Amino acid sequence: MPPPLQPDEDAGPAALASAADAPDVSPRAGARLGADASGPARPPTTAEERDRRPPAAERGAPSSRSRALWAATLASEAAFDAAPLSEREARKVRRTKRADRPELAWPAGWSRQRHAQRWAATKARLEDEARRAEHGEGGLGADAPRVHASELTLAAFRERFERPRLPCVVEGLADEWPARERWGLAELAASAPGVKLKCGEDDDEKSLKLKLRAFLRYQASEARADDSPLYVFDSAYDRTAKLWLADYAVPSLFPEDLFALVGEARRPPNRWFLVGPERSGTTLHTDPLETSAWNTLVRGRKLWVCFAPNAPRALVKGRGFLRPGGDDEAVDWFAELLPRIVADAEFPRETPYYRFVQRPGETVFVPHGWWHAVLNLDDTVAVTQNYVGSVNFAHSWRATRVERRKMARKWRSLLQRERPDLYAECVAADAADGFDLDEHIERKREERRRRRREREARRGGGRGGGRGSRDGEAS
Ligand SMILES: O=C(O)CCC(=O)C(=O)O
């Protein structure tokens, strides 16, 4: 068990400084959104502020206020009319798709599951199941707790959700974001058509990128027939499309970003701009290094399923339920594997799990260690960030010290200076587990040297023409 965590109010000035320094919010955004803005984007945090607000009856229900604000965004996306792909763009899309999924026969493999033909029915069923979960019908999981930002202080969020490690949907956190106006498909296409965004990876883990304009044209055409379309999942937009950083602000409920201490060049990627055609999605996973995450949807709707961290991995991944010739993309998982997973006799009935629809303007909080899968029900635009804060720190430290050991060593020494309270947690966790990071790094180095010697011996001696001997870091 991790050592007890410090109360968040004790997080200390460095945590707040790191939040303020978090590169995710540009100074421009801060100025525009206003640290003191009194709109619903920042929940009232003092009794005095709360008292100044008009009574609920005059304000209208918080959720209906935010939903009304965002309602038009679904209709406006339906009206987006992309031009057809140019020949050059079509060639680029083809190369991207073939490199992304070389195992699929070209081109028929991309539609061999016939999901497009069944999509209207599949989507209606999935929406209906989410609605029934919302109404508490058994066997379908529960609707995630929903709360409006205006009713939630940072301390209340931590007490109700972050510390007990419970997912939730928060409305109203993005009501003031410029992205609300600027991240429509037409607006994005007009403002940054040439920006290249990652929408896949080849077998050597090299990023595959398309220009935004080409991607949106693909989304409006070929993607409609693809079983599981390409999905923009880009973490470089802070360099390639800096203007988007000014269109949103890290919501006030997530002020900490402790990996920021190690610097931009060294830290793991932590923010992604997402453009997902309907039926694209993310297969079931937990987030790396025990980070927690927030995900704010600006356009379209996403269907989520979240399983508690103790859910049996092999079962919830669902590979055992794959039929011959079947696929395990998000749409397959939601449409075909999920019903079998939760109906299986081995599925522990006591495992908490949530099934819910995220609507435009809503922010999903995913606590560290929770399994989650997401299916885009419509064409979507979203932004997501992962973070380590004081609440998930001890878990994250335990993961980081083995998965990013050299970065962990740097992190630990910076924490010693900047956050002695968290440094003490590292020391306590290592002592409790009998773990010595320096020894671990030396042991791994020695293992690498031994493997290299063995390789060289197999090749008959000599260094061979490798890439030199700089120690890499496994991660
Ligand atoms: O919006 C999505 O597709 C989900 C993103 C996600 O699960 C993640 O970034 O870990």
What is the tens place of the pLDDT at every residue in 88-102? 999 999 999 999 999
End-to-end C-alpha distance for the chain, whole angstroms: 24
Report percent pLDDT > 70 for the chain.
83
Please say if the pLDDT value at position 67 is more than 60: yes
Best probe residue, ligand 1, of 274, 295, 376 (max atoms within 8 Å of C-beta): 295
Please say if the pLDDT value at position 47 is more than 60: no
- For ligand 1, atom 9, name the residue with the nearest CA: 384
In a domain, 440, yes or no: no
Report pLDDT for 60. 54
Q: Ligand 1 atom closest to Cα of 282? A: 3
Cα of 282 from ligand 1 centre, angstroms = 6
Best probe residue, ligand 1, of 198, 271, 274 (max atoms within 8 Å of C-beta): 274
Report pLDDT for 139. 77
Count of domains for the chain? 1
Ligand 1-lining residues (CB < 6 angstroms): 272, 274, 281-282, 287, 293, 295, 302, 372, 374, 382, 384
Please say if the pLDDT value at position 473 is more than 60: no
Tell me the torsion sign for CA atoms 434, 12, 50, 168.
negative
Say if residues 200 and 329 touch (Cβ distance below 8 Å): no
Mean of per-residue pLDDT scores for the chain: 85
Cα of 277 from ligand 1 centre, angstroms = 14
In a domain, 445, yes or no: no
Cα of 449 from ligand 1 centre, angstroms = 37
Choose between 58 and 450: higher pLDDT: 450
In a domain, 54, yes or no: yes
Cα of 336 from ligand 1 centre, angstroms = 20
CATH of residue 225's domain is: 2.60.120.650
Say if residues 298 and 174 touch (Cβ distance below 8 Å): yes
Cα of 284 from ligand 1 centre, angstroms = 9
In a domain, 1, yes or no: no
Cα of 303 from ligand 1 centre, angstroms = 11
Please say if the pLDDT value at position 7 is more than 80: no
Please say if the pLDDT value at position 57 is more than 80: no
Report pLDDT for 321. 96
Report how far residue 143's alpha carbon sits from residue 305's, in angstroms, rounded to the nearest whole number: 9
Cα of 254 from ligand 1 centre, angstroms = 17
DSSP-assigned letter for residue 162: I
Choose between 67 and 85: higher pLDDT: 85
Choose between 347 and 80: higher pLDDT: 347
Cα of 286 from ligand 1 centre, angstroms = 10
Range of the domain at 236: 8-393
In a domain, 384, yes or no: yes
Looking at 285-356, list the stretches that DSSP marks H as alpha helix, in order from N- to C-terminal side: 313-317, 330-332, 338-343
Going by pLDDT thresholds of 50, 70 and 90, the confidence category of residue 261 is very high
Report pLDDT for 225. 98
**Least confident stretch, 5-14, 99-108, 256-265:** 5-14
Query: Tokens 């011959």 correspond to what residue?
Result: 324
Please, which residues have CB within 8 angstroms of residue 271's CB and are 6 or more apart in sequence? Answer: 24, 235, 238, 383, 384, 385, 386
Report how far residue 103's alpha carbon sits from residue 112's, in angstroms, rounded to the nearest whole number: 12
In a domain, 327, yes or no: yes
Please say if the pLDDT value at position 304 is more than 80: yes
Choose between 368 and 46: higher pLDDT: 368
Question: Is the full-model pTM beyond 0.85?
Answer: no
Q: What are phi and psi for residue 355, nearest 5 degrees?
A: -135, 120
Choose between 53 and 19: higher pLDDT: 53
In a domain, 204, yes or no: yes
Best probe residue, ligand 1, of 374, 376, 381, 385 (max atoms within 8 Å of C-beta): 374
Report pLDDT for 61. 67
Query: For 44-50, what is the mean pLDDT?
Result: 35
Please say if the pLDDT value at position 184 is more than 90: yes
Please say if the pLDDT value at position 79 is more than 80: no
Please say if the pLDDT value at position 428 is more than 90: yes
Best probe residue, ligand 1, of 372, 381, 385, 386 (max atoms within 8 Å of C-beta): 372
Estimate the crossing angle of helix 405-418 against helix 437-458, to 10 degrees: 160
Report pLDDT for 379. 95
Query: Tokens 């932004």 correspond to what residue?
Result: 383
- For ligand 1, atom 6, name the residue with the nearest CA: 282
Going by pLDDT thresholds of 50, 70 and 90, the confidence category of residue 138 is confident
In a domain, 288, yes or no: yes
Please say if the pLDDT value at position 19 is more than 70: no
